[in-house]
Structure 1
Amino acid sequence: MKSTIQFGVDHLMANFDPLKFGKIGLVSNDAAFTSSGKRSRITLLEAGFEITKLFSPEHGISAKGADGAFMPNGTDLSTDLPIVSLYGEKLAPSKADLDEIDTVFFDVPDIGLRYYTYLWTLSYVLEECSRNQKRLVILDRPNPLSGVIEGPMLDEERCSSFIGRWDIPVRHGCTLGELAKLFNSEKQLKVNLQIIPCLNWQKNMFFNDWNLDFQPTSPAILSWECMLAYPVTAYLEATNLSDGRGSDTPFAQIGAPWLIDIDLTRFSEITRAIDFQPCQFIPEEGKFRGELCLGIKLKVTNPSLYHPTLAGLCLIKTIREQYPKYFAWKPYPTRANPAGTRHLDLLLGVFEAEKLFDLPWNAFLSSVLDLTNTNKWQERVKPHLLY
């Protein structure tokens, strides 16, 4: 079945005159395609849009740079355009970067999770467009995880970082265009902001409803199955467990040399939309590189019914209690957080999050259920929704 989904870039090229935007600086990467499968920046140039400079987020223009690794400036081999890295010496474009640009375009595929950093690159671009009075055009894209929402919200005073600057839920249910509207309003940025919406997408649609080929959005999000599993297992970054990076299914399997068996019966009702099977793997990079890891492979069987944050935290709690001599919290150094400290706090947006796991099971479950509640968010974001 042919897809009817149209991305913002498709909508732009079909309905707007390239000359009205002047000289353009484009924030994008190799994960950005049109709905017909052509690379976004190439197609825009061929259509007559005057792109003079590229800006790349984390993972670089290729979208293949290592997680958290410094990305240098460079030249795009596909277009010969200069690339200014926004995950290298700086996280935001400078005044000099923007001086000879009339309009900034933003076209980066996101996956709908607060700790996925492309969103926060957008937040810095918003601020700099405000400061330098530059027009910002967001070529919107659907949220592959649908419009479903799950907390926790972010403690902005104590847990703000490049994996969560501002107070939104972990699973926000929005497109980047919608969040840009919210930020522009709440932070009073007064950016000359234009959202080019995607077409024929609804909030109840997941990626597998789009009828499009999957394009990896970063090195470890290799497939739709990995993307679905990621919000379950992302919190393992803050532990000494492997999250499957360096294997053929990153995030969709977890393990350690000592993780012989896990009894998951205590929270089987919470994970009824996820199938768990025993597995073995040898990571080629990351934790336990070259070592045989025992563990579990997970497959989301019903995306509409799963609660990934709740499931992921219960999984860590269970492993911690069943393997107290082996399990440990661990720093996770990145370019944006070189020491890697308080990583669980920053992922969850919850101050002293590790203390949650010291609670007895019932108290832990009650606390996590409270944290993942997002009723207030729905009302707050409602005026800014486009779909």
Structure 2
Amino acid sequence: MTGIDALLANPPAWKSRRIGLVTNHAACTADFRPSREALLAEGFHITRLFSPEHGLETTGEDGKEMPDGTDRLTGLPVTSLYGGKLAPDPHDLADIDVVLFDIPDIGCRFYTYLWTLTHVMEACAARGKHLVIADRPNPLSGVMALAEGPGLDERHCSSFIGRWNIPVRHSCTFGELAGYFQSTYILKNTLQLDVIPCKNWQRTMFFPDWSPSFVPTSPAIPCFASALLYPGLGLLEATNISEGRGTATPFRVAGAPWMDGPRVAALVNDLRPDGVYARPVHFVPVAGKYQGQKCSGVMLHVSDRAVFRPVKLGWLLIRLIHQIHPGDFAWAPYPTFVNPGGARHLDLLTGLKNAESLVADGSIGEIVEYTGPGDWTARIEPYLLY
């Protein structure tokens, strides 16, 4: 039972107060009803909606500015937190008593919904607003042994795809991270924070263990397999290798017109990375890199999610492709609304200054040095809820 289902089953005293709901269309109840619709049906007094990157409908293009609007489902006004501002302003919060946050995550530091949460936390602290987080399980499990770094260099690499120092794969829920952020980055006595925990979730569970169907969280995360591979194949955004955007299998394939897909697949499999197999494929993106061009590449199939390490795989792929195709491989900018020039994208993804040389150069064995989670388990342990 997710936090939103627990909230609906046991309505709080504040349900009749003026509520601002931070949400999107991926936020559903157990029976796949949009959270905002279910809350209104149960008498929750929602007066305004706030939406993150990709907009309320979760259909906005990656990195594209999203406008304010009106929700076609509920008729409520929608304030974009990925447009003119990244946090609610004093005017937005003036006629709100409680801010309720319900957005599904995919367990990766550079997925922006987490950082929208931090901006909302800071805004609520500054304006004295009660913040309630309806918690949801981490689809990549909560197994701390599967957390992967690097950590984030806040001095040189803080951005909207990673503001604070946590691993790339953090193995936590938003409720747990909020407790840690409140204690570490926000004066605790300035924010009234409550977390409605999930019920019956165990940290060893992955998404397929608790739900029969994955609701797409954004255009390029249409299924659980994409979410599971995203912490690794997301690094390809900073290269001239297609990460599968514009195909039916985003973040499950890697390729380019110049790539020798069969050779890359064979080399990956020879190294026997934990829990994953590479298969040579061809694909033609209809959008994104190499639009309309035939790409040779690999498709990644996770055979054992309990041991699979996506970040390690992402580094491995880049390092192998760089070694095989030194004349064709190149780093590339990745322009977005929050980084218009797209500069230093790999630094911002990995959290490491001068990351290009670290990722591409050196031996395969050195990858483990950079993808370890550091002291994360010790830092987060006091804030774990499950």
State the TM-score bracket (shorter-chain normalisation): over 0.9
- CA separation in 2, counterparts of 1:168 and 1:272? 23
Q: Is the 8 A contact 2:275 2:308 kept in 1?
A: yes
Aligned twin of 2:319: 317
8 A Cα contact 2:268 2:278, kept in partner: no
- Structure 2 distance, partners of 1:62, 1:274, is 32
State how 1:165-314 maps to structure 2 within 5 Å.
165-190=163-188, 191-261=191-261, 262-263=263-264, 264-265=266-267, 268-269=270-271, 271-314=273-316
Of 119, 122, 127, which aligns to 1:127?
A: 122
Query: Which residue in 2 is equivalent to 1:139?
Result: 134
Deviation at 1:272, TM superposition (A): 3.5
Change in Cα spacing, 1:113 to 1:61, as seen in structure 2 (3 Å) is same
Q: In the aligned structure 1, how far is the partner of 2:140 from the partner of 2:335?
A: 27
Indicate if the aligned counterparts of 1:242 and 1:255 stay in contact, CA closer than 8 A.
yes
Aligned-residue offset at 1:224: 1.3
Q: Which residue of 1 aligns with 2:44?
A: 49
Distance 1:266 1:80, change over 3 A: closer
Residue aligned with 1:137, SS: strand
Equivalent pair of 1:139/1:197 in contact (CA under 8 Å): yes
Cα pair 2:138 2:206 within 8 Å, conserved:
yes
Greater Cα shift, 213-222 or 227-236:
227-236
Cα deviations by residue, 1:216-235 (Å, 9 ceiling, x for unpaired): 00001111121122122111
Of 153, 156, 179 in structure 1, the residue corresponding to residue 151 of structure 2 is: 153
- Cα deviations by residue, 1:129-157 (Å, 9 ceiling, x for unpaired): 00000000000000000113111100011
1:26 aligns with 2:21: yes
Which amino acid letter does the alignment assign opposite residue 383 of structure 1? Answer: P
Task: Give yes or no for contact 1:111–1:145 (8 Å, CA) kept in 2.
Answer: yes
The answer to whether the 8 Å contact 1:69/1:335 transfers is yes
Displacement of 1:358 in angstroms is: 5.4
Q: CA deviation at 1:66?
A: 0.3
CA distance, structure 1, for counterparts of residue 40 and residue 13 of structure 2? 10
Match of 2:371 in 1: 372
TM (norm. structure 2) is: 0.95
Question: Which deviations, in whole Å up to 9, do the C-alpha atoms of 1:25-53 show, x marking residues without a partner?
Answer: 00000000001211100000000100000
Q: Tell me, yes or no, if the aligned pair for 1:273 and 1:301 is still in contact at 8 Å.
A: yes
**For each residue in 1:364-385, what CA deviation from the matched residue of structure 2 results, as whole angstroms up to 9, or x when unmatched?**
x32x312222241111111111
> What is the one-letter code of the residue matched to 1:114?
R
Structure 2: gaps of 5 or more residues: none
Give the AA of the match of 2:222.
L
Structure 2 CA distance, aligned partners of 1:64 and 1:131?
Answer: 31
1:115 matched to 2:110:
yes
Given residue 331 of structure 2, which amino acid in structure 1 is its aligned partner?
W
- Deviation track 1:54-86 (CA, whole Å, cap 9, x = no partner) reads 000000000110000000000000011000000
Does 2:337 correspond to 1:339? no
Partner of 1:360: 362
Cα-to-partner distance string for 1:285-331 (whole Å, 9 max, x where unaligned)? 00000111111111111111111111110110100110011100000
3-state SS, counterpart of residue 231 of structure 1? helix
> Could you list the runs of 5+ residues in structure 1 that have no partner in the other structure?
1-5
Mapped partners of 1:267, 1:154: distance in 2: 30
What amino acid is aligned across from residue 222 of structure 1 in structure 2? Answer: P
Question: One-letter code of the match for 1:229?
Answer: L
Deviation (angstroms), 1:212 = 2.7
Farther-moved stretch of structure 1 (40-49 vs 218-227):
218-227
In 1, Cα distance between equivalents of 2:86 and 2:376: 27
Alpha-carbon offset, residue 245 of structure 1: 0.6
Query: Structure 1: how far apart are the matches of 2:64 and 2:206?
Result: 30
Distance change (3 Å), C-alpha of 1:248 and 1:335:
same
Question: Aligned pair in 2 of structure 1 residues 340, 375: CA closer, same or farther (>3 Å)?
Answer: closer
Residue identity in the other structure for 1:203:
R
Partner-residue secondary structure (3-state), 1:245? coil
Q: TM-score, normalised by structure 1?
A: 0.95
Which amino acid counterpart does residue 93 of structure 1 have in structure 2?
A: P
Q: Kindly indicate whether the alpha-carbon contact (under 8 Å) linking 1:151 and 1:170 is maintained by their aligned counterparts in 2.
A: yes
Amino acid at match of 2:124: C
The match for 2:101 is 106
2:91 match: 96
Contact 2:4-2:35 at 8 Å conserved across structures = yes
Structure 1 residues 19 and 181: CA distance shift in structure 2, 3 A:
closer
For 2:322 and 2:84, how far apart are their aligned partners in 1? Answer: 37
Identity percentage over the alignment? 51
SS of alignment partner, residue 146 of structure 1: coil
1:359 Cα deviation after fit:
3.3
Change over 3 Å in CA distance of 1:270–1:135 after alignment to 2:
farther
The whole-number CA distance in structure 1 between the counterparts of 2:122 and 2:284 is 43
